[in-house]
Structures are given as C-alpha cells and as structure tokens.
Structure 1
Amino acid sequence: MSAISLSDLDISYGETQVTHGITLDVAEGESFALVGESGSGKSTVLRAIAGLAPDWTGKISVLGKARSHGVDRQVSRQCQMVFQDPYGSLHPRKTIDAILSEPLAIHGLGNRGPRVEAMLAAVGLDRRFRFRFPHQLSGGQRQRVAIARALMLEPKVMLLDEPTSALDVSVQAEILNLLKRLRREQGLTYLVVTHNLPVVAFLCDRLAVMRHGRVVEIASAEQLKTGKLVAPYSLELLAASGAQVVPT
C-alpha cells in the first residue's frame, strides 16, 4: 500500500492554478523528495496533503484513505507536517510543554506529561527544556521541538517543508541525522520539500523534479548521485547546484 498517493492533482489559490496533474506514489517507509526552483509548487503539494490548501481537484490518499478537502482529523493522526521556519512555527508565548501537549489535547489523548518527556528525549532534548519558551532555544533546538510536536500523535507519515534551510550548516547536519534516525526507529514515511540536492542524496530514496507546477521527472537518489537524471531541466538543476551531490 502507498503511504501517499496523488492522482491528477490540480491545486489553486483563487483563480491562480499552481499545480497541474501531479501524479505520484510514495511507498510506506520511503523517503521521497520534491525538488525544483522556488514557485514550482512543491510546498503547495505538501499543504494540500496536510489540509492547508483546500482548493484542489484530483485525488489525495494517505495510507489508503482518500482525504477530504480541509481539515481531516483522521488523516491528521496519521500525517503531520514540519514547517521550514523554526522561529515562526512555534507560539512565542507558550512553553514547550504547552506546545507539545496541544496535539494530545485536541485529539483527547491523556498521559501528557510522560508523553512530552519521552518525545523530547526522542529528539535529543532533555527534560529541562520542557518549561522553557521558544525564544530561550536556538534555531536547531526549536526545530527539534517542531519535529517532536509533529511526532506527538505517533503518525506514520511526515511532511517536511525545507526542514533545514533556515539553520546553520553545522546544525543542518544534526537535524538531518536526527530525521534519518527517527525514520529508521519509528518506521516513518517522509515526503520532503527541498532545494538542496545533497539533502536529497543523504535523506531520500527517490525524488520528483517539479517545474511550473508539473512533475518533469521521477528518479532514484542513486541516479541523482551519479548524475544520471534524464530531463533537461533536472540536469540544469544539478548543474546549478554547484556542489558535490554525494554527501561526505
């Protein structure tokens, strides 16, 4: 069974159509990337899956269940999103305890204290962070909290929107290693939006290259690492990255 299945997905904001006929399948346990230049529709696809971009046609299914337009609580239990900006995605006036407890309260789940402490430990933060506020944390620590919040409901699917792009390079490596470990330990499926091809090579199994709201190529990470992409635009992206793709 596919963890995420998109079929002929057209997404619009008002009268502006952003994506055109997006069709792809992400297998359970796979890490799959959407890459392309800014404005290609990558993040919009994530937002539609998460229920944050409700104006769409086509089909979206998560773990075999077709999702409705708008908020779908059943899908939310199984599919959570981590946003790009660790500074803007956490409420500045709530403690980390309150931020992590909120998903449990919304879904009527108990045993909140132990759950919060266990998830902090899972993302590499000790219990002394529990009653701090976001402004008392570094960018990397905030992104660990954002990842912990997404994992509080024990989802099987994670949507990652540029999860390291707002962080320093040294911190990026820590977060990528954390994501790789969590995927292995918890059997997670990732759909990752990034413009960073070395991130794809390190974290993902396959990728879809998007341009002007369309998928122009689906390839394996191995094809990316060896430069054996096919579409001319994919090769342009590879050349424009100006960096060694295989992480060291």
Structure 2
Amino acid sequence: MNAIELNNLDISYGDTKVVHGINLAIAEGESFALVGESGSGKSTILRAIAGLAPDWTGAISIMGKPRSHGVDHRVSRQVQMVFQDPYGSLHPRKTIDAALTEPLAIHGIGNRGERVEAMLTAVGLDQRFRFRFPHQLSGGQRQRVAIARALMLEPKVMLLDEPTSALDVSVQAEILNLLKRLRREQGLTFLLVTHNLPVVSFLCDRLAVMKQGRVVEIADVAQLKAGDLKQPYSRELLAATEGG
C-alpha cells in the first residue's frame, strides 16, 4: 500500500499558484525526499499534506484514504510534521512535559505520563528534561523533543521539513541517525524536504527534484550516489552540492 499519494496536486497562495500538477506515490515504509532550490514548492507540499495549506486542488491520500481540506483528526493521528526550527515550534512557556502531553489530551489518549517517559527514552533524552522549558535545552535537544512530540500519536507518516538545517554539523549527524533508527524501529514512512543532497543519500530511498513548483525528475538514491541524474537541472543541483 502507498502511504502517500498525490494526484494532479495544485497549491495556491491567493491568486498565485505555487505548485503545479504533482503526481507522487510513496510506499509504506519508504523514505522519500523532495529536493530543489528555495521557493520550488517543496515545503508547500508538506504543508498541504499536513492540512496547513488549505488552498489546493487535486487529490491527497494517506494510507489509502483521501484527506479533506483543513483539519482532519483522522489524518493527524497518522501524519505528523517536524519543522526546521525546533525553538520556534515549541511554546517557550510550556514545559517539555506539557508539549508532549498536549497531542494526547487533544485526542483523548490516556497513560500520558508513561507515554511521555517512553518517548523521551526513544529519542535519547534523559527523564530530567521532562519538566524543563525549551530555552533550557540545546538546539539538538529541542529537535529531539519536536520529534518526540510528532511521534506521541504513533503516526505512520512523518513529514520532515529541513529537520537538521538549523543545527550544528555535529548535531545534525546525531539527529539523522536518530531518525534512521526510529524509521526502522517504528516502520515509519518519511517525506523529507531538504536542499542537502548528502542528507538524502543517508536517509532516503528515492527523491523528486523540484523546480518552480513542478517535479522535473524522480530518481533512486543509487542514481544520486552514482551521479546518474538525467535532467540538466538535477545535475546542476548535484554539481552545486559537490562544489560546496
């Protein structure tokens, strides 16, 4: 079964169409990347899947079922998103415990204390962090909390919007290793947005290259590693990464 299917997806902000005719099928358990320069529509696609960009046409299906526009609690149980900025995505005046129990309260799920303790352990955080505030944590620790919060509802799909780009290089590796382990242990499907092709090589199975709101190429990561991308724009992206 496909975890995510996008059929002829168009997304607009006001009168401006920013994503054009996207067709993607991402298998359950797959890790798939959207790559391309800033403004190519990558994050907008994630936001539409998550219900944060309501002005879209076409079809979005999650685990074989179409999603509606706007808030869809059935979808939010199955799809969660991790944002680029871990500090901006956590309420500064709420403890880590409050951040992690909030989705459980919204969905009426019990055993909250046990679930919080288990999830902190799963993301490699000591229990002493539970009643601290975001400003008392490092950037890497905050991103671990953001990942833990996304996993509290036991989703099938994780949407990852540049999840390591705001972190120091040494911490990036820790978070990428954590994501890889969680995917394996929990059977997660990843849809990752990034401009960092080495991250794609490490974490993903396939990738779609986007330019100006359109997919110009879909390739296996083996092709990326071999430098065997077909489209000139894809090769430009690869060359720019290698040159940097």
- TM-score, structure 2 as length reference: 0.99
Match of 1:220 in 2: 220
Match of 2:33 in 1: 33
Residue 238 of structure 1: how far off its partner (Å)? 0.4
Match of 1:98 in 2: 98
One-letter amino acid of the counterpart of residue 95, structure 1: T
Q: Deviations over 1:111-134 (max 9, x none)?
A: 100000100000000110000000
Residue 242 of structure 1: how far off its partner (Å)? 2.5
One-letter amino acid of the counterpart of residue 215, structure 1: V
Q: Distance in 1 between matches of 2:18 and 2:96?
A: 35
Q: Deviations over 1:10-57 (max 9, x none)?
A: 000101101000000000000000000000000000000000000000
Q: Distance in 1 between matches of 2:98 and 2:206?
A: 36
Q: Distance in 2 between matches of 1:243 and 1:116?
A: 43
Counting aligned pairs with the same residue, the percent is 83
Residue 145 of structure 1: how far off its partner (Å)? 0.1
One-letter amino acid of the counterpart of residue 177, structure 1: N
Match of 1:54 in 2: 54
- TM-score, structure 1 as length reference: 0.98
SS at match of 1:154: coil
SS at match of 1:222: helix
Match of 1:156 in 2: 156
SS at match of 1:173: helix
Q: Deviations over 1:142-198 (max 9, x none)?
A: 000000000000001000000000000000000000000000000000000000000
SS at match of 2:182: helix
1:9 partnered with 2:14: no
One-letter amino acid of the counterpart of residue 93, structure 1: R
- Residues 156-235 of structure 1: matches in 2 within 5 Å? 156-235=156-235
Match of 2:18 in 1: 18
SS at match of 1:21: strand
One-letter amino acid of the counterpart of residue 202, structure 2: F
Q: Distance in 2 between matches of 1:75 and 1:146?
A: 19
Q: Distance in 2 between matches of 1:3 and 1:224?
A: 23
**Which ranges of structure 2 fall in alignment gaps of 5 or more residues?**
none
Q: Distance in 2 between matches of 1:155 and 1:242?
A: 35
Match of 1:89 in 2: 89
Match of 2:114 in 1: 114
Q: Deviations over 1:225-246 (max 9, x none)?
A: 00000011000000111359xx
Q: Distance in 1 between matches of 2:224 and 2:15?
A: 35
Residue 87 of structure 1: how far off its partner (Å)? 1.3
Q: Distance in 1 between matches of 2:200 and 2:14?
A: 32
Q: Give the total of aligned pairs.
A: 244
Match of 2:125 in 1: 125
Q: Distance in 1 between matches of 2:214 and 2:45?
A: 11
Q: Distance in 2 between matches of 1:25 and 1:199?
A: 21
Q: Distance in 1 between matches of 2:243 and 2:49?
A: 31
One-letter amino acid of the counterpart of residue 33, structure 1: A
Q: Distance in 1 between matches of 2:178 and 2:243?
A: 23
Q: Distance in 1 between matches of 2:106 and 2:87?
A: 23
**Which ranges of structure 1 fall in alignment gaps of 5 or more residues?**
none
One-letter amino acid of the counterpart of residue 59, structure 2: K
Q: In angstroms, what is the RMSD of aligned CA positions?
A: 0.7
